[in-house]
Amino acid sequence: MPIRKLGFVLAVTGALMFAATPVEIEKKIDALLARMTIEEKLGQMSQASFPSGLPQRARDEIRKGRWGSFLNGGTPQEKAEAQRIATKESRLGIPIIYGQDVIHGYQTVFPIPLGQSASWDPELVRRAARIAAREASSVGIHWTFAPMLDIARDPRWGRIAESLGEDPYLAGVLAAAMVHGFQGESLDAPDSIAACGKHYVGYGAAEGGRDYNTTWIPEALLRDVYLRPFEAARKAGIATYMSAFNDLNGVPASGNAFTLRQILRDEWKFDGFVVSDWNAITEMIPHGYAADIKDAAWKGIGAGVDMEMVSTSYYQNAKALIDSGALDPRLVDQSVRNILRVKFRLGLFDQRIQPENILPAQPAADGLEIARQLAAESLVLLKNQDNALPLAKSVRKVAVIGPLANSQTDQMGTWAMGGNRSAVKTPLAALRETLGEGRVVWAQGLRNSRDDNPAGFQAALETARSADVVLLFLGEEAALSGEASSRAVLDLPGAQEELVSEVLKAGKPTIAILLAGRPLTFHNVAERANAVLYAWHPGVMGGPAICDVLFGDTAPSGRLTTTFPRTVGQLPIYYDHMNTGRPPAESGPEATNKNTSKYLDLSFTPKYPFGFGLSYTTFEYSNVRLSTPTLRLGEKLTIRADIANTGKRDADDVVQLYTRQLAASLTRPVRELKSFRRIHLRAGEKQTIEFVLSTDDLAFYKPGGQLSAEPGSFQLWIAPDSASGQMAEFRVVR
Ligand code: NOJ
């Protein structure tokens, strides 16, 4: 552990400890700024891909202070050498900050963020981020471009895989956990890395779910939903943000002074720095917002994007813009100050120790253990007809079939830059380990998820026939989710459904395990399988985790954090929608009323609601009681409920608290998640759990940024998911 110099707790930035006091840091920055040339300042505001092989030209540029930051690439040795040149041979010795996409683990690849969120386990998510920080920092990475905090309500958007689900509150809680994990207790500890909240803001609302597409988000919705996780990250002390690619209400997010200056700086008092996304500054030209790269630079700096990723409009144009009087040089100074402040906080000026020993070749045991637990907790049991699961370990023979049973790469998911394929334990490998080679028969059926060649079907059917139970590993490969990987059809790609039809001819109990980066519409398969387990892209220990759950060593406890549609035609679909003036009904006399907000050809309800997930046991919720039926603004409400494990085995449950305000100055969602608790209940055990809600938790944003709760009538649910639960009512008065 580092010897911490005089620690300093800064309340407004969320209890981060810095090596020097803020006042000392500002003085050091003053001194540097006074000596910096405009080129050196603009160099600090520039980030490029790491110059592969560190050629002479790059060395010369670093010596001149041309680059304040590099991203993604470079060996630890090259990074150390570039840093040596920057700190020892450049005029002012300003260190480089190295950024990289360490999104769901570095060497130890954890489940994709969407999978992590399904664990509803902030502490485990924090610990995973801590491992990622330890590994990444040991190869000289100072800064990760994570967490991604985009709310997505449309699974066609491939980047939903990188999100923490559709709910702003849950995403905020997990965002804070990740920030604490990456940044540790002290940003300047050698095993801490700076986090970056991205993509600021609105990126997840891409029209039609098409990546990079336009977003239109009214201010109340922007503040109440899309900004919430970013605000939670701010409160957790996040060091940086990344401005997004998207056009937001006619102003690209990377040139948007309203979100970047007014909200981020003036309202939230953020004092770290903002980096643009890749070329997002010059992409304001095709957006139709900047006339040319000079204009783009002017708009980017003007809006408050401190560092430009990859494109070079700032470096090329800002001096001329200042000379002509178009750009206020104080804006450049402010951006440089923000960047240097983070470099100081990270301890980069104090010769932050370069890794002595490079990362070991294989992931460490403690990280693998967390990866296994997190993967297990992220698995969501969606169907379990006649208790088809768990399987008995005494099963004679299992057939493992499908394109995702043994694909290391796909299992790692969308961002696995530092991941080591050979360390990945697939379901096939784990099953062989658990049962012994002889009891596992295997047929891939299709070469990958998109394959539509039936050549392997016959072998798959024979394999199924020879076994007592069939485990089908289906879904989508990693490349079908993540950036620039939107899909218009969410069915299982390739000939997977046909493969299933073929295998079902064997007439064996069949379990479908879905590996995917998003909610898929795999429902034909779900109907025909005896059980369905949703596994996301579960990372390096996905195989053992799936095995743990299949054989009941761990009871499934993951809960969906996105609404699963019946079909793409229902998109966008999300649980915290408004009621409309003509709400549809599922049953009762109103169900046949044509003039309600529904479809003629399909139910309006989702296939699986937000918050949903089965267990190997059953839970009963009862006796919801409130400390008072009426409370005043500013007061607190205590809610208690009894949760009983009414089944035969111990298990975790995720108890969810939702509220609804029935009338307000702006219409309110039919439900909003306000709190949750993951609890462990032994078979037969009953626990009383308690939530405390303050009226501040009921506050919502109005256009203009005012956040306040309003008096009125409320409903509240203690619930196992967003579509059921035990309801109680209360009133808030002035
Ligand atoms: C573009 C992606 O949108 C962003 O999430 C990522 O951090 C950067 N590229 C850097 O790789």
277 is catalytic: yes
> pLDDT-based confidence at 356, cuts 50/70/90?
low
Ligand 1 centre and the CA of 656: distance in Å?
33
Give the model's pLDDT for residue 620: 98
Residue closest by Cα to atom 1 of ligand 1: 278
Say if residue 559's pLDDT is above 50.
Answer: yes
Ligand 1 centre and the CA of 244: distance in Å?
9
Residue 435 Cα distances to 248, 394, 474, 509, 514, angstroms: 53, 9, 21, 18, 21
Handedness of CA 664, 665, 671, 674 (dihedral sign): negative
Ligand 1 centre and the CA of 472: distance in Å?
33
Ligand 1 centre and the CA of 289: distance in Å?
21
Rounded CA gap, 379 and 14, in Å?
Answer: 32
443-479: burial string, b at 16+ Cβ within 10 Å, e else: bbbbebbbbeeeebbeebbebbeebebbbbbbbbbbe
What atom in ligand 1 is closest to the CA of residue 162?
A: 5
Say if residue 44's pLDDT is above 70.
Answer: yes
Contacts of 411 (CB under 8 A, 6+ apart): 404, 424, 426, 478, 515, 537, 538, 539, 540, 542, 543
Give the model's pLDDT for residue 7: 27
What atom in ligand 1 is closest to the CA of residue 199?
A: 5
Q: Which residue among 112, 278, 309 has the greatest number of ligand 1 atoms within 8 angstroms of its CB, and so is best to mutate?
A: 278
Q: Pick from 106, 104, 56: which is nearest to 76 by CA?
A: 106
The mean pLDDT value for 643-654 works out to: 98
Give the model's pLDDT for residue 501: 98
Query: Is residue 333 lining ligand 1, measured as CB closer than 6 Å?
Result: no
Give the model's pLDDT for residue 354: 62
Ligand 1 centre and the CA of 273: distance in Å?
16
Query: Is residue 50 lining ligand 1, measured as CB closer than 6 Å?
Result: no
> pLDDT-based confidence at 519, cuts 50/70/90?
very high
Cβ atoms of 61 and 42 within 8 Å: the answer is no
Residue closest by Cα to atom 7 of ligand 1: 145
Cβ atoms of 341 and 273 within 8 Å: the answer is yes
Ligand 1 centre and the CA of 277: distance in Å?
6
Rounded CA gap, 400 and 463, in Å?
Answer: 8
What is the separation of C-alpha 143 from the centre of its chain, rounded to a whole number of angstroms?
17
Contacts of 112 (CB under 8 A, 6+ apart): 104, 161, 162, 413, 414, 415, 481, 517, 536, 537, 539
Say if residue 109's pLDDT is above 50.
Answer: yes
> pLDDT-based confidence at 2, cuts 50/70/90?
very low
Say if residue 10's pLDDT is above 50.
Answer: no
Q: Per the structure block, which two tokens stand in for 624?
A: 């919801």
Give the model's pLDDT for residue 420: 86
Q: Among the options 277, 410, 451, 548, which is catalytic?
A: 277
- Note the pLDDT tens digit of each residue in 563-575: 999 999 999 999 9
201 phi and psi angles, rounded to 5 deg: -150, 155
Query: Is residue 277 lining ligand 1, measured as CB closer than 6 Å?
Result: yes
pTM of this structure: 0.96
Query: Is residue 101 lining ligand 1, measured as CB closer than 6 Å?
Result: yes
Give the model's pLDDT for residue 417: 86
Rounded CA gap, 627 and 82, in Å?
Answer: 62
The mean pLDDT value for 53-77 works out to: 96
**Which stretch of 9-18, 150-159, 197-206 has the lowest confidence by average pLDDT?**
9-18
- Length of the chain counted residue by residue: 734
Rounded CA gap, 110 and 420, in Å?
Answer: 12
Rounded CA gap, 714 and 700, in Å?
Answer: 14
> Is 495 exposed, middle or buried, given 0-12, 13-18 or 19+ CB atoms closer than 10 A?
buried
Ligand 1 centre and the CA of 666: distance in Å?
35
Query: Is residue 198 lining ligand 1, measured as CB closer than 6 Å?
Result: yes
Say if residue 353's pLDDT is above 80.
Answer: no
Residue closest by Cα to atom 11 of ligand 1: 101
Residue closest by Cα to atom 4 of ligand 1: 277
Longest dimension (CA), the chain: 81
> Is 77 exposed, middle or buried, given 0-12, 13-18 or 19+ CB atoms closer than 10 A?
middle
- Note the pLDDT tens digit of each residue in 595-612: 999 999 999 999 999 999
Report the mean per-residue pLDDT for the chain. Answer: 95
> pLDDT-based confidence at 4, cuts 50/70/90?
very low
Give the model's pLDDT for residue 360: 86
Contacts of 275 (CB under 8 A, 6+ apart): 47, 69, 99, 196, 240, 241, 242, 243, 305, 306, 307, 308, 309
289 phi and psi angles, rounded to 5 deg: -110, -25
- Note the pLDDT tens digit of each residue in 268-310: 999 999 999 999 999 999 999 999 999 999 999 999 999 999 9
Query: Is residue 61 lining ligand 1, measured as CB closer than 6 Å?
Result: no
Give the model's pLDDT for residue 305: 99
Query: Is residue 278 lining ligand 1, measured as CB closer than 6 Å?
Result: yes
Rounded CA gap, 300 and 296, in Å?
Answer: 6
What atom in ligand 1 is closest to the CA of residue 103?
A: 7
Q: Per the structure block, which two tokens stand in for 58?
A: 């790059």
